[in-house]
Structure 1
Amino acid sequence: MADHEESKSESLMEKVTEKFHGDDSSSSSDSDDDKKSSPLKSNVYRIFGREKPVHKVLGGGKPADIFLWRDKKISGGLLGGATAIWVLFELLEYHLLTLVCHGLILALAVLFLWSNASSFIKKSRPSIPEVNIPEEPVLEFASALTTETNRAFKVLREIALGRDLKKFLSVIAGLFILSTLGSCCSCLTLFYIAFVLLHTVPVLYEKYEDQVDGFAEKAMIEIKKQYAVFDAKVLSKIPKGPLKGKKA
């Protein structure tokens, strides 16, 4: 009888442990499912199909740190210097050649007076360091500028071949907007606006990227709808090849 009760208790304990392990396995499978479903968050719409962080999109390194205000002193100094140049040339209507000449006059006068005063007091002329432009950075800048220019020419050639109508229309619209802005303000003002945008838009986008991407997704859906309507009513009716001769 005691053996029967022991076997009963053992069978009951086995059922309890099986139930417990079953719950564990189900919970582990649920957690595995959650882990598998968690990467769906990476499928969130990102503007321009971005798959990398903003820092990587901007190229990484020191330029990206400057645009994203990782070093506030350098970023603020560059933005302040650009603002001072814009105020100097646009608001005060100072000219570049005049500025260069006045700067050279001031530098030569200060160095001349310093040299003569120190030779009069110390009986020896100070050693003024030589200024030489390093060759390597200039060559690297020229090489990078040539590469980017050739890339731009290649893109313009592909657009001119008529392979992508969307890209063609977007480039035409962009050039038209740029020409309109160019007629309203000077080239220096456009460069200053672009410089300010580079120092403000990326850091604001990185801070509010989820809200901006959500709004951009809705806007892109609406643009695609309008383009589909435009394509059905206008673009589809444009002949895409030479007309064939009519049959007799």
Structure 2
Amino acid sequence: MGVCVIEADIFLWRNKKISAGALGVATVIWVLFELLEYHLLTLVCHLLILALALLFLWSNAATFIHKSPPRIPEVQIPKDPVLDFAQALRFEINRGFAVLRDIASGRDLKKFLSVIAGLWVLSIVGSWCNFLTLFYIVFVLLHTLPVLYEKYEDKVDPLTEKAWHEIKKQYAVFDAKVLSKIPKRPLKEKKEKKKD
């Protein structure tokens, strides 16, 4: 629960330094990888080269100027957080597979069509830009939309309600003209055919 509160504070700009820092870091990463066409492996290697060279020079120079060499801490990845993360990731992936299986089973046509439409829209957006740009756009939207909604909530809510009402009306028309025309077999027939 504490992490969610911190994320909400960041996205709602309640701590302006952290929010601006997160947005700045995301912008620098996007500029490096998209505009300057830098690659992640190249960046990691260059940062490691720089860090190792500085530490090596500092360690060797320390003996000449009679100063103590730098204390380089021993870094180890703890076992428990990694296992907790892997277990949580495994749970979420399995839950996603269960949802996909439920959608593909053919029980809920409305859910099936909404997922297909969402994936289709996502594929169109994906053809316009790559994953990093899409991730950056979502990150910027997460940093702007909540604070704008909080500021203009009284104006946004009536518009959202009208839009939702219009979507429901259009879906009802689509359901009456298209979905209701699709023949459906009774559930008993499906079970009997599986037994044969």
SS at match of 1:239: coil
Q: Which 5+ residue runs of structure 1 have no aligned equivalent? A: 1-55
Contact 2:55-2:70 within 8 A present in 1 as well = no
Of 78-87 and 196-205, deviating more is 196-205
**1:218 lines up with 2:162 in the alignment:** yes
CA contact (8 A) 1:118 1:125 kept: yes
Q: In the TM superposition, what whole-angstrom CA distance separates every residue of 1:28-77 from its partner, at most 9, and x where no partner exists?
A: xxxxxxxxxxxxxxxxxxxxxxxxxxxx9xx7322222222221111111
Task: Please say if residues 67 and 75 of structure 1, whose CA atoms lie closer than 8 Å, have aligned partners that are also in contact.
Answer: yes
Distance in 1, matches of 2:140 and 2:95, equals 25
Deviations 1:152-205 (A, max 9, x none): 222222211223222211111110111111112111111111211222222222
Whole-angstrom distance in 2 between the partners of 1:212 and 1:150: 36
The answer to whether 1:83 aligns with 2:39 is no
Instruction: Give the corresponding residue for 1:170.
Output: 114
Q: Which protein has greater RCO, CA pairs closer than 8 Å, 6+ apart? A: 2
Aligned length: 186
Which residue of structure 1 aligns with residue 193 of structure 2? none
Deviation at 1:140, TM superposition (A): 3.0
Work out which of the residue numbers 49, 53, 60 in structure 2 matches 1:109: 53
- 1:60 partner SS: helix
Deviations 1:89-122 (A, max 9, x none): 1000011111111111100111011111122112
Partner SS, residue 94 of structure 1? coil
Identity %: 75
Measure, in 1, the Cα distance between the counterparts of 2:155 and 2:111: 27
Indicate how the Cα distance of structure 1 residues 226 and 240 shifts in structure 2: closer, same or farther if over 3 A, else same.
same
Indicate conservation of the 8 Å contact 1:119/1:126, yes or no.
no
Alignment of 1:54-93 (within 5 A): 60-93=4-37
- 2:89 corresponds to 1:145: yes
Contact 1:69–1:75, Cα closer than 8 Å, also in 2 = yes
What one-letter code is carried by the residue in structure 2 that aligns with 1:116?
A: N
- In 2, the alpha carbon distance for the partners of 1:118 and 1:77 equals 35
Give the one of 158, 161, 172 matched to 2:105: 161
SS at match of 1:156: helix
Residue 127 to residue 229, structure 1, CA distance change in 2 (3 Å): closer
User: Could you tell me the TM-score, scaled by structure 1's length?
Assistant: 0.69
Name the residue aligned to 1:209: 153
Distance in 2 of aligned mates of 1:125 and 1:221: 69
Counterpart in 2 of 1:126?
Answer: 70
Distance in structure 2 (CA, Å) of the matches to 1:136 and 1:207: 41
C-alpha distance in 2 between matches for 1:60 and 1:100: 30
C-alpha distance in structure 2 between counterparts of 1:184 and 1:193, whole Å = 12
- Cα distance in structure 2, aligned partners of 1:103 and 1:190: 26
Cα distance in 1, alignment partners of residues 37 and 62 from structure 2: 38
Does structure 1 retain, via aligned residues, the 8 Å contact 2:62–2:68? yes
List 4+ stretches of structure 1 deviating above 6 A. none
User: In 2 relative to 1, CA 151–211 (structure 1 residues): closer, same or farther, beyond 3 Å?
Assistant: farther
1:215–1:123 distance in 2 versus 1, CA, 3 Å: closer
State whether residues 59 and 69 of structure 2, in contact with CA within 8 Å, keep that contact through their aligned partners in structure 1.
yes
Rg comparison, structure with higher value: 1
